Amino acid sequence: MQVEEYLNKIAESEGTVHLTLIDPASQTPDQAAEIAHAAVLGGTDAIMVGGSTGAGGVLLDQTLLKIKERTDKPTILFPGNASGVSKHADAIFFMSLLNSRDINYITTNQAMGAPVVYKSGIEPISMAYIIVEPGGTVGWVGDAKLIPKHKPELAVAYALAGKYLGMHYTYLEAGSGADLPVTPEMIGAVKHVLGDNKLIVGGGIRDGETAKMCALAGADMIVTGTILEESSNVTAKIEELVSAIKK
């Protein structure tokens, strides 16, 4: 089964999908594989691999290879730029940072990376990427004109633009390690216009209660990264998150 179909099926039958984000720059490939393995034991649905700084090249390849030794859940690239492509993943979130001021993050990195995706045969999943306040490192690196957190109508406008441009997924990003995630009001307003298109929410989700709030507001998928890097028991933390968002 293709990865997009796999994720959509879970979203439609089991409830909100949980995605574990691993940044190759944050630990060794062996440690990344250990986190992925523990996350799968806790019930995560897939492993996203990527980051904004220093997450490409050999380190990315080695991280994916080690993760694939420890789990058979799908691996999905979450690239910060064209160097975030690896043939060792199953799929890639082929994304455009719609609210960037820098054309490199809207189309140029995509053009430079596309032939690599084509040759490697990994599955591209088209995605509108929208960064909301506070935005964190990715907001700075991607030169995003941050969506104010209490202006859901601006997120709706970008999400609709992504949908009309043919993107299947929309990612509302508050930035890794954000104090608070995107508001339920913004999640609900965006999901309302997306209809059957899938909505991913990430940035600042640390516990089951917050994950549930995002799921109830309309998130089809949630992403957690930082809390797993900080957690002494990754499996237990994932169990807490997953049990809060599944039907």
Sequence ranges of the binding site for sn-glycerol 1-phosphate: 171-177, 203-204, 225-226
By CB under 6 A, the residues from 99 to 138 that bind ligand 1GP are 138
Nearer to ligand 1GP, 79 or 124 (CB): 79
48 or 115: CB nearest ligand 1GP: 48
What is the full DSSP assignment across 44-94? --EEEE--SSS--HHHHHHHHHHHHHH--S-EEE--SSGGG--TTSSEEEE
Binding to ligand 1GP (CB under 6 A): which residues in 136-165?
Answer: 138
Residue 233 neighbours by CB under 8 Å, 6+ apart:
none
Q: Which residue is nearest to ligand 1GP (CB)?
A: 202
Min. distance of Cβ 52 from ligand 1GP in angstroms?
Answer: 8
Closest CB to ligand 1GP among 8 and 26? 26
**CB neighbour list of residue 123: distance below 8 Å, 6 or more residues apart:** 2, 3, 4, 90, 91, 92
For β-strands 123-131 and 17-22, DSSP reports them as unpaired
Residues flagged as binding site: 23, 52, 171-177, 203-204, 225-226
Query: Both tokens of residue 60?
Result: 């990315």
Tokens 């995003």, residue? 144
Residues in the chain: 247
Q: Which residues are annotated as a binding site for Mg(2+)?
A: 23, 52
**According to CB under 6 A, which residues from 167 to 206 bind ligand 1GP?**
173, 176-178, 202-205
- Does residue 80 touch ligand 1GP according to CB under 6 A? no
Q: Mask 212-241, x = binds ligand 1GP (CB under 6 A)?
A: -----------xxxxx--------------
Residues 6+ apart with CB under 8 A from 77: 48, 49, 50, 84, 85, 86, 89, 91, 92, 93, 122
Return the number of the residue (54 or 177) whose C-beta is nearest ligand 1GP: 177
Neighbours of 233 (CB within 10 A): 11
What mask of x and - would describe binding to ligand 1GP in positions 4 to 43, judged by CB under 6 A? Answer: -----------------x----------------------
- With 0-12 / 13-18 / 19 or more C-beta atoms within 10 angstroms meaning exposed / middle / buried, residue 217 is buried
Write out the residues near ligand 1GP by the rule CB under 6 A.
Answer: 21, 138, 173, 176-178, 202-205, 223-227
